[in-house]
Chain A
Amino acid sequence: MVARGRKRAARESEKGILSPPGYSAIPIKFSEKQQSSHYLYVREHKVREGTKSSWPQKRTLFVLNVPPYCTEECLSRLLSPCGPVQSVELQEKPDLAESPKEPKSKFFHPKPVPVAYVVFQKPRGVSAALALKGPLLVSTESHPVKSGIHKWIRDYADSVPDPEALRVEVDTFMETYDEKMAEEEAKAKEEEGVPDEEGWVKVTRRGRRPVLPRTEAASLRVLEREKRKRARKELLNFYAWQHRETKMEHLAQLRKKFQEDKQRIELMRAQRKFRPY
């Protein structure tokens, strides 16, 4: 496999563009003016048998090294000559699963960063894309892409929020949330005090007598209390051996301190800390 990859890479190097084995490289430029180009490394999206992947097999193109100014629309436009594009998803890392089903709220989630999955409508699009020679141009006369000052001003304008839209979103979310909570509550109420098949009854905090919450902190607190209770019962410095041991303990502390200090002095001496001037 590796050998084959190498051979293929070597073949490509004759054509001038190198690519990692299994990938093909498409040069991409921002505009005509840019001298040297970045390379998109593309591959058909394939997974081993049995691995779950929500991206459709055969029709998905996996793209690496998407330049920072390249947006989803722009990628879609660039690849559309190869065949109609169904969707483009930019991600931070390669990820097998398709992104969460529900659309992300633009108020609560910032945009992710690029590795791209391009889903074509037909498998032919993938092969056409793999054969693409380029160089692709991100910004052209007909479709200028904004960067720099223009982009920032647009971003700023976009960031000025519409309070109404925000309100509507919050309200709908809270409605569904409240519904969900009410449902759960009703379900819990129904189950309350009803034994399961083996006859166990689940005790919840809604019961008549509140129980300890099942948290780590609470259990630690209980342990601590026990320990204190035990410590109170113990007699200290009662027997002679206890006296002896306390003294020895004190001495050991002093020795330990002394060793620590000696180490510090050693270090300071090494750093010439004792040369006053």
Chain B
Amino acid sequence: MGPAHKGAQHRGTAGEPEVMVSALEGIGKERKKESSKKRSGSPVEGLLQPVKLSRAELYKEPTNEELNRLRETESLFHSSLLRLQVEELLKEVRLSEKKKERIDAFLQKVNQRIMRVPSTPETELTNQAWLRDGVRVPLHQVPYTVKGCFRFLPPAQVTVVGSYLLGTCIRPDINVDVALTMPREILQDKDGLNQRYFRKRALYLAHLAHHLSQDPLFGSVRFSYTNGCHLKPSLLLRPHGKDERLVTVRLHPCPPPDFFRPCRLLPSKNNVRTAWYQGQSPSGDGSPEPPTPHYNTWVLQDTALESHAQLLSTVLGSASGLKDGVALLKVWLRQRELDKGLGGFSGFLVSMLVAFLVSTHKIHTTMSGYQVLRSTLQFLASTDLTVNGISLCFSSDPFLPALADFHQAFPVVFLDSSGRLNLCADVTASTCHQVQHEARLSMVLLDSKADDGFQLLLMTPKPMVRAFDHILHLRPLSRLQAACHRLKLWPELQDHGGDYVSAALGPLTTLLEQGLGSRLHLLAHSRPPVSEWDISQDPPKHRDSGVLTLGLLLRPEGLTSVLELGPEADQPEAADFRQFWGSRSELRRFQDGAIREAVVWEAASMAQKRLIPHQVVTHLLTLHADIPDTCVHYTGGLLDALIQSLKETSSTGEEALAAAVRCYDDLSRLLWGLEGLPLTVSAVQGAHPVLRYTEVFPPTAVRPAYSFYEQLQERASLLPRPDKPCPAYVEPMTVVCHLEGSGQWPQDAEAIRRVRAAFQLRLAELLTQQHGLQCRATATHTDVLKDGFVFRIRVAYQREPQILREMRSPEGIISLRDTPASLCLERDTRQLPLLTSTLHGLQQQHPAFSGVARLAKRWVRAQLLGEELTDESLDLVAAALFLHPEPFTPPSSPQVGFLRFLFLISTFDWKNNPLIVNLNNELTAEEQVEIRSVFLATRTKLPVMVIITPQDRKSSVWTQGGPSPQTVFRPPLDMYDVLIHLSPRHIPRHRQAVDSPAASFCRGLLSEPGPSSLMPVLGYDPPQLYLAQLREAFGDLALFFYDQHGGKVIGVLWKPTSFQPQPLKASNTKGRMVVFQGGELVMVPNVEAILEDFAILGEGLVQAVEARSERWTV
């Protein structure tokens, strides 16, 4: 990896969206104006074309090689695409031969330099005066006093161990691990005791560091911790000059073979004496010393470096498939952030796991990399290492400790070939469960045969913030020290050499897992990052390792209960329960007569219920670990405020939506039972976002104050008054009403419209007569006021779209052709209700859907892009997050869903992929393949964003109107040419604004909803009316952007193309004037007059028109 690599990578990541934008613009241009060119089939840069192979190429005789390759692909890989992808990925992460040579040369030199480091005379361990200035011991020497002597001698042996030799190391971080065997003369008997070995190890490195740092060969000489273990520093060497980024050589001193007696280092043995650790004189009272399993393991790890390297090289050595598999597994782990830090599931661990699977014949050496990956994931998914440990040791030596002994000492057990060393000693149970969970998800993904499995499995990063529903940070970390004392973890502290973070981690996660119980699916914790520091500095303190982040994956079904049910009061477990929950536990009598201990959390709304884990976590941490809630930074409902309506600030609107839906259900029941309609109602379907739970601000029942309005008594309606602020915005909810089939309908489009109008009138009449509802009929719909909600019922005739499509050819044959009117009708009366009911169903499955969809819409509209991306397309994108969450699980909180929404729209390659939203799982895998190929063949005719649903397999109805490729990635809110400022007095939804105003105008509503006999003002939103007028008048000169949720500014962007001087033509004179330019008469927009028109058209609403750029001066 060259020194320029990092830079190149940066360019790569930054360049990616750029590529997309320009690529998208490519299609956009083509789509927009050059339809003639499009047909001629000019190849577009970066766009997939359908493959055309000549007959001769397709049907030529196959060669043996080709047949072999095809057969191999079929048997060893999933598909040829996957095979190619895997090969490409390996090429990308593998080290090239050229770089290998350079690294080898560097290693040679390192070896020489190390051997040349001079020896020192023997001194006491505590006397460190011989160490030169400019280098500090890379170890916290607590307590400082240790008996023993130290001298430096050059290493007896320098060996390269680890992944570099095996060829399984992956870019971009190339590390070469070098084991330095310390000569026997340095060490004494009983060095394993009381950290003496580690002190010597640290001093050995310090002396080496001092001498090597003088050498011009090295660009940087720094210390770090081996796998994050605080007792085991290692020395990092990087070459000087342009190769600095190429490689990091890590030096690990290790004891001579057979120096430590393995039986002294079993997990049940103690090697750190309490008296020494606490700085007291040995008391000798005979109290048993606590075992120090972790300490022992760390010593053992050093002794086993070489044997592990040998084992791996014998197993992996000749099998290239295994090496590929290990490399893929490393990428897989890294994308999931599982491989770093103390207790991470490192690459070494995974290599050993593959070795284990080979030894148990679960993997064969001839398997391909993909198969190795798959088998390993399968094993990880099905085996719980916290219960059933595994061992590489197959000898039946009776003196070896049993697996059960290890299970007692460690949460996760995986023994190496000696049978004494637990490779997973530092891995916590929750990390192990996380790995298992990830493996399970990946297996499901691989089994689903999804087309983009590779992408999701190996190329999509899963940072905690997108993977977990709720995230909490513990900060500052020094609080954990107190927590350790509160939790009585002194033996663990002694074992971990004072590292209170890792000592407290296990008990804390267990505590929270127990407390969250049925609400929790998975609890994961971040591992402190492995720090590097300069040799002249002291090693970083435990508290400096940043924050501890915990991620909670919630179980949606568990989130609805506010009750923690305990045992019955007279049972012995009741005491435990009381002790666990402290003051929150109280005795309660339940309906079945039982008296039980129980904890009840206060949560009225769905939003609060979702945040009960927050209450649980803070309560338990304060109670049991002494961590006050000021140190717990919980992010679960950060974005809730954006979708809260003001009246009930605690709810995010789920309840209000449910109320509206209930009212709709009542209405549909009334419609079903309506008597006296010529045809009975056969179906009532909602078609409004409220009825699929995705309206950003759900409607509330309204009760208008009559004095605020003008009244139109004869039509029982209210009108807005010009002298008052504009009234509250009431949007009618569209409901489509299908009637039973009948042959009596006329067969002419105009006549059908009249008959429908007659139905609308009749419907209004009957609803008023039979149920006393206030109704208002128009030619196309009937507005019904019910319990303060207004519904807009549209009668639909099933055959009408068909009749609109009929065209009679000159020969008299009737053919069906889509027309704009038929498509529009089809969309409104068939597809929209279907979508609404499907998404309604989705909401029942995934309670967080509503929140995610609404946050997404809110965001898009706040970016002033609400007009371009239709409601329905955004709902479908949100639905895709739930239906196709891979590689994640379906979100259970709006926050994480929204973050994934942002990730999706920022990275999705709309140009070459349709977004398939498989509603109700109706599309089979074969159909999806078919859809993709149709998509590729017709790409240029399709809109920029293509969203496919089972009902809409080809045309992507909801994105037909936009967005234009320019707007999808336009940086928000920057350079609008003109800003039109609006007066809040006439913005009915002023209070929904992102920065909610403290006070707004009275909107003519009474505070309590009640029966009203007059129809409120419906759908009267001056900014929208104004926008419609602007778009109608100046739509071909400019684009208008507005946030319908209380935006106070309309952004105007002149269309550059329409500012080109145009030749004189009768059809394009709108808003232009004639000027004399370049010897010719041309037409240019009459900008001054148009700006004044903006103000005139919006008289009363517009406060100011601010022209911001001078771009329009032609």
- What is the interface of chain A, defined by CB distance below 8 A to chain B? 6, 9-10, 13, 18-21, 25, 30-31, 34-39, 41, 64-65, 67-69, 93-94, 107-108, 113, 115, 147-153, 155-157, 160-163, 166-167, 170, 173-174, 177, 181, 213-217, 219, 248, 251-252, 254-265, 267-277
In the assembled complex, 25 residue pairs joining A and B whose CB atoms fall closer than 8 Å, in A order, are A6-B1081, A18-B1081, A20-B1069, A35-B1088, A36-B1086, A64-B1069, A68-B1032, A68-B1093, A149-B726, A149-B1101, A150-B1100, A160-B717, A161-B715, A166-B761, A170-B757, A170-B758, A173-B751, A174-B755, A214-B813, A215-B813, A219-B813, A252-B59, A254-B80, A271-B19, A276-B459
- Chain A residue numbers with a CB within 8 Å of B80 are 254, 257-258, 261
Q: Given A20-B1081, A268-B88, A277-B335, A157 and B712 touching (CB < 8 A)? A: yes
Query: How far apart are the CA atoms of A10 and B172 in the complex, in Å?
Result: 70
Query: How far apart are the CA atoms of A13 and B1080 in the complex, in Å?
Result: 12
Q: In the complex, which residue of chain A has the Cβ closest to the Cβ of B985? A: A149
Q: How far is the CB of A91 from chain B (nearest CB, A)?
A: 12
B912 contacts A267, C-beta separation under 8 Å: yes
A36 contacts B1089, C-beta separation under 8 Å: yes
Q: How far is the CB of A31 from chain B (nearest CB, A)?
A: 8
Q: Given A148-B1101, A162-B715, A174-B758, A108 and B753 touching (CB < 8 A)? A: yes
Q: How far is the CB of B746 from chain A (nearest CB, A)?
A: 7
Among B351-359, B542-550, B775-783, the one that faces the other chain is B775-783
* Known interface pairs A67-B1033, A69-B1093, A148-B1097; 11 further A-B residue pairs with C-beta atoms within 8 A, sorted by A's residue number: A18-B1073, A38-B1071, A69-B1096, A93-B1067, A166-B761, A170-B754, A170-B758, A248-B59, A261-B84, A265-B84, A272-B16
Among B45-53, B260-268, B829-837, the one that faces the other chain is B45-53
Q: How far is the CB of B244 from chain A (nearest CB, A)?
A: 20
Chain A CB within 8 A of B130 CB: no
Q: How far is the CB of B26 from chain A (nearest CB, A)?
A: 13
A148 contacts B719, C-beta separation under 8 Å: no
Most chain B CB within 10 A, of A18, A69, A148, A174, is at A148
- Chain A residue numbers with a CB within 8 Å of B41 are none
User: How would residues 1075 to 1095 of chain B score, 1 for a CB under 8 Å from any chain A CB and 0 otherwise?
Assistant: 110000101001011001100
Query: How far apart are the CA atoms of A148 and B1099 in the complex, in Å?
Result: 4
Chain A CB within 8 A of B563 CB: no
Chain A CB within 8 A of B1102 CB: yes
A153 contacts B1092, C-beta separation under 8 Å: no
- Chain B residue numbers with a CB within 8 Å of A67 are 1033, 1093
Query: How far apart are the CA atoms of A41 and B721 in the complex, in Å?
Result: 38
Query: Which residues of chain B in 980-1030 are interfacial with respect to chain A, using CB atoms and an 8 Å cutoff?
Result: 986, 1017, 1020, 1022, 1025-1026, 1029
Most chain B CB within 10 A, of A18, A149, A264, A277, is at A149
Partner of A149, one of B15, B758, B1100: B1100
Query: How far apart are the CA atoms of A276 and B697 in the complex, in Å?
Result: 40
Q: How far is the CB of A146 from chain B (nearest CB, A)?
A: 8
Q: In the complex, which residue of chain A has the Cβ closest to the Cβ of B83? A: A261
Chain A CB within 8 A of B558 CB: no
B1096 contacts A264, C-beta separation under 8 Å: no
Chain A CB within 8 A of B142 CB: no
A276 contacts B89, C-beta separation under 8 Å: yes
User: How would residues 434 to 469 of chain B score, 1 for a CB under 8 Å from any chain A CB and 0 otherwise?
Assistant: 000000000000000000000100110100000000
Partner of A277, one of B334, B1086, B1102: B334
Q: Given A259-B53, A274-B89, A251 and B62 touching (CB < 8 A)? A: yes
Most chain A CB within 10 A, of B459, B461, B746, B1066, is at B1066
Chain A CB within 8 A of B93 CB: yes
B778 contacts A166, C-beta separation under 8 Å: yes
User: How would residues 1046 to 1081 of chain B score, 1 for a CB under 8 Å from any chain A CB and 0 otherwise?
Assistant: 000000000000000000101101111111100001
Q: Given A163-B764, A275-B12, A149 and B986 touching (CB < 8 A)? A: yes
Query: How far apart are the CA atoms of A262 and B53 in the complex, in Å?
Result: 13
What are the 9 tightest A-B residue pairs by CB atom distance, in nearest-first order?
A: A148-B1099, A149-B1100, A68-B1033, A216-B815, A36-B1088, A261-B81, A252-B58, A18-B1074, A148-B1100
Q: In the complex, which residue of chain A has the Cβ closest to the Cβ of B92? A: A274
- Chain B residue numbers with a CB within 8 Å of A248 are 59
Q: In the complex, which residue of chain B has the Cβ closest to the Cβ of A67? A: B1093
B712 contacts A214, C-beta separation under 8 Å: no
A160 contacts B712, C-beta separation under 8 Å: yes
Query: How far apart are the CA atoms of A31 and B1070 in the complex, in Å?
Result: 19
- What is the interface of chain B, defined by CB distance below 8 A to chain A? 9, 12, 15-16, 19, 46, 48-49, 51, 53, 57-59, 62, 70, 79-81, 84-85, 88-89, 91-93, 172, 331, 334-335, 455, 458-459, 461, 712, 715, 717, 719-722, 726, 746, 748, 750-751, 753-755, 757-758, 761, 764, 776-779, 812-816, 909, 912, 986, 1017, 1020, 1022, 1025-1026, 1029, 1032-1034, 1064, 1066-1067, 1069-1076, 1081, 1083, 1086, 1088-1089, 1092-1093, 1096-1102
Q: In the complex, which residue of chain A has the Cβ closest to the Cβ of B909? A: A271
- Chain B residue numbers with a CB within 8 Å of A69 are 1093, 1096-1097
Query: How far apart are the CA atoms of A94 and B1067 in the complex, in Å?
Result: 7
- Chain B residue numbers with a CB within 8 Å of A216 are 813-816
Partner of B1020, one of A152, A166, A276: A152
- Chain A residue numbers with a CB within 8 Å of B1017 are 156
- Chain A residue numbers with a CB within 8 Å of B1033 are 67-68
B912 contacts A272, C-beta separation under 8 Å: no
Query: How far apart are the CA atoms of A21 and B89 in the complex, in Å?
Result: 66
Query: How far apart are the CA atoms of A65 and B717 in the complex, in Å?
Result: 38
Query: How far apart are the CA atoms of A251 and B1022 in the complex, in Å?
Result: 64
Query: How far apart are the CA atoms of A152 and B1097 in the complex, in Å?
Result: 10
Q: How far is the CB of B709 from chain A (nearest CB, A)?
A: 11
Q: Given A163-B777, A275-B92, A255 and B58 touching (CB < 8 A)? A: yes
- Chain B residue numbers with a CB within 8 Å of A217 are 815-816
Q: How far is the CB of A48 from chain B (nearest CB, A)?
A: 15
Q: How far is the CB of B143 from chain A (nearest CB, A)?
A: 42
Partner of A107, one of B750, B757, B1020: B757
Q: In the complex, which residue of chain B has the Cβ closest to the Cβ of A177? A: B751
- Chain A residue numbers with a CB within 8 Å of B459 are 273-274, 276
Partner of A153, one of B57, B715, B722, B912: B722
Q: How far is the CB of A128 from chain B (nearest CB, A)?
A: 22
Most chain A CB within 10 A, of B84, B721, B750, B1101, is at B84
Query: How far apart are the CA atoms of A39 and B1069 in the complex, in Å?
Result: 10
B712 contacts A38, C-beta separation under 8 Å: no
B1089 contacts A156, C-beta separation under 8 Å: no
A263 contacts B51, C-beta separation under 8 Å: yes
Q: Given A37-B1089, A276-B458, A65 and B751 touching (CB < 8 A)? A: no
Q: How far is the CB of A274 from chain B (nearest CB, A)?
A: 4
